[in-house]
Structure 1
């Protein structure tokens, strides 16, 4: 079991960040995030998430043109905004990732299942991404509020990757953190079925 400090870092003291310090995020840190998140489970080990790290001012402007008005400054000011995408042709990697069963034929023969699998599992990987970023000392600002088709055209043209959600990462300006919002209690959100 991890200690309380780790639990605080990953969960109880972590917030969504809306403002960022002028402190760079290195490519090494981006690799560290991926190297942690890749070990977390997905169905059939399918790992459909594909990530585009938006860093340059030009790329930020391009992404800012695809987001809602409330997210423009978040994209422009964050050191990095990751587009967590989903590879809709993830099945082609299945012989490598799950060699003991023909998952590729299963997915290729059922496009609805493949789409559901890509969405669900890239969303899981996006959650792992957030925890991995926090684990290496970065702050995160996940967001929806964007035009997925515009993002796909701007960053994934010619591929089978589609945007799932965005997540800014960096060193948060904690003076801009909003107060903690309430959460549902266990009894309000959970049922133990016997």
Structure 2
């Protein structure tokens, strides 16, 4: 049974044990996974449009079902939009969202199938298949947008930034406020920036391999 290393010596032993099994460098593994945390405070250093474009241009290549691309991102930069969003956050998340250098609202486009002829040209009937089955289309939109949110968080980390993903907000109200067309649903809000003082809570435990994986 493998447990998460808690001391530097245990971490070095852990890294040595699996060094031959993982092609990603130890530094990259730490950046994306082992040392990455959900940030609760940030510095004042701004997050540029160029950084966000680089993040998207990386994570857009990650796999989804039938290459559908339902994720839609609103970058909240203006004070007016920030105030509207903060008002709809859970009380414990309001100060973090108010103070973060950049906040992104991540949503699922329930009409993603309109783009399928361009992003998945190998199956021309896909658009009609999803268009004729609303329940399947909504499930597919939410599942794959959620996958893309996870990739987005990793992309933020890959850029040397910290992410503070949250679902503690009034999703229906945020959807109405920022996606009034009725074709999108807000799924997550992510604070983005350089981590500030006392940004991290203590590392919480994870389930071990033998508790999660079964071989049949």
TM value normalised by structure 2: 0.87
Further displaced range: 102-111 or 157-166: 157-166
Match of 1:111 in 2: 134
Counterpart selection for 1:7 from 19, 26, 29: 29
- 1:49-84 CA-to-partner distances (Å, cap 9, x unmatched) read 000011222211110111110110111011111111
CA contact 1:57–1:76 (8 Å) conserved in 2: no
Counterpart selection for 1:95 from 113, 117, 121: 117
> Following the alignment from structure 1 to structure 2, what is the Cα–Cα distance between the partners of residues 159 and 99?
27
Structure 1, unaligned stretches of length 5 or more?
none
Structure 2, unaligned stretches of length 5 or more?
1-22
Alignment of 1:140 onto 2:159: no
Alignment of 1:55 onto 2:77: yes
Q: CA deviation at 1:176?
A: 2.9
Match of 1:71 in 2: 93
Alignment of 1:191 onto 2:178: no
> Following the alignment from structure 1 to structure 2, what is the Cα–Cα distance between the partners of residues 84 and 160?
13
Alignment of 1:172 onto 2:195: yes
Alignment of 1:31 onto 2:53: yes
> Following the alignment from structure 1 to structure 2, what is the Cα–Cα distance between the partners of residues 2 and 81?
29
Match of 2:144 in 1: 121
CA contact 2:176–2:182 (8 Å) conserved in 1: no
> Following the alignment from structure 2 to structure 1, what is the Cα–Cα distance between the partners of residues 74 and 68?
18
What's the RMSD between the two structures over aligned residues?
1.0
Match of 2:16 in 1: none
- 1:99-120 CA-to-partner distances (Å, cap 9, x unmatched) read 1211111101111110110000
> Following the alignment from structure 2 to structure 1, what is the Cα–Cα distance between the partners of residues 157 and 168?
22
- 1:129-165 CA-to-partner distances (Å, cap 9, x unmatched) read 0001100111000111111111011111125121011
Query: Secondary structure in 2 aligned to 1:142?
Result: strand
Q: CA deviation at 1:4?
A: 0.2
TM value normalised by structure 1: 0.96
Relative to 1, partners in 2 of residues 1:174 and 1:189: Cα closer, same or farther, differing over 3 Å? farther
Larger Rg: 2
Q: Which portions of structure 1, spanning 4 or more consecutive aligned residues, are displaced by more than 4 angstroms?
A: none
> Following the alignment from structure 2 to structure 1, what is the Cα–Cα distance between the partners of residues 164 and 51?
16
Alignment of 1:41 onto 2:63: yes
